[in-house]
Amino acid sequence: MRTIVFSDVHGCPDVIAAVVVHSGFDARVDRLVFAGDAIEIGPDPSRCLDLLEELGAECLVGNHEYGAFTGRPVEGEPLDPALVERIAESIASGRWRLAASADGVLITHAGVDKRFAVHTESGDSSSAELTAQVLNHEFEAAAASRSRRAGSVVGASGPLWWRPGDYGDPIRGITQVAGHTPPEIIPETDVVAHWAARGVYLVDPYVRGWRMRGFLPPTPVRYAVIEDGAVRVVEGE
């Protein structure tokens, strides 16, 4: 089974369709994980949510969804109340979670730094599976109170907001796939290879920048394929 991970479509359902076509996703044999930020920026966030449901995608919460859920949209503009209610129900019901794992790879919206590492009794980092379980448990508690507490899993350095290089080093010994940070905004040369060497594979297709700059289609596509414990990032149009 392949696990296909993508993120940050930001109200552009055509990006979802492009990932499905480009990856050759087959619901009978593949797993599809959406790593957050279906809403804001683009014209049709509701259709994005519809498509994700139709495809049977496993959905993770992004900072834009959590912002809507807590009444503080990231873009600062009022959101359609029906959309907010839909997001709130998805989070409150636990259908949209904070973390997932696949073949020993940890998947979150923004990535996880070492401060959120879960350790075994021997002091070593735990597995991606256990780390995802702990993150989801902490997220359930935060979401129940609509918390935005600094230093927690919903804070600025947590898995909804972390950026490689900004807040600290990634968890050592666990491979991660994350969106939120498009390689285009990181200053290192050969960004994808740089962070992949440190165990963080970046899949944000930079739809936000594409839309805000008024570029014409085709919209860029970026996603990860996890298979037999290996990760590769695929780009296309």
Name the residue with higher pLDDT: 192 or 212. 192
Mean pLDDT lowest among 152-166, 188-202, 205-219: 205-219
pLDDT at 216: 64
Tell me if the pTM is above 0.85. yes
Task: Determine the Cα–Cα distance for residues 142 and 146; give it in Å rounded to an integer.
Answer: 6
Task: Determine the Cα–Cα distance for residues 210 and 206; give it in Å rounded to an integer.
Answer: 6
Name the residue with higher pLDDT: 40 or 215. 40
Chain segment 58-92, per-residue pLDDT in tens: 999 999 999 999 999 999 999 999 999 999 999 99
Mean pLDDT lowest among 8-12, 48-52, 207-211: 207-211
Domain span holding position 65: 3-236
pLDDT at 217: 66
Task: Determine the Cα–Cα distance for residues 206 and 221; give it in Å rounded to an integer.
Answer: 9
Task: Determine the Cα–Cα distance for residues 3 and 228; give it in Å rounded to an integer.
Answer: 10
The domain total for the chain is: 1
pLDDT at 132: 96
Domain with residue 25: its CATH number is 3.60.21.10
DSSP H or E segment with residue 166: none
pLDDT at 125: 58
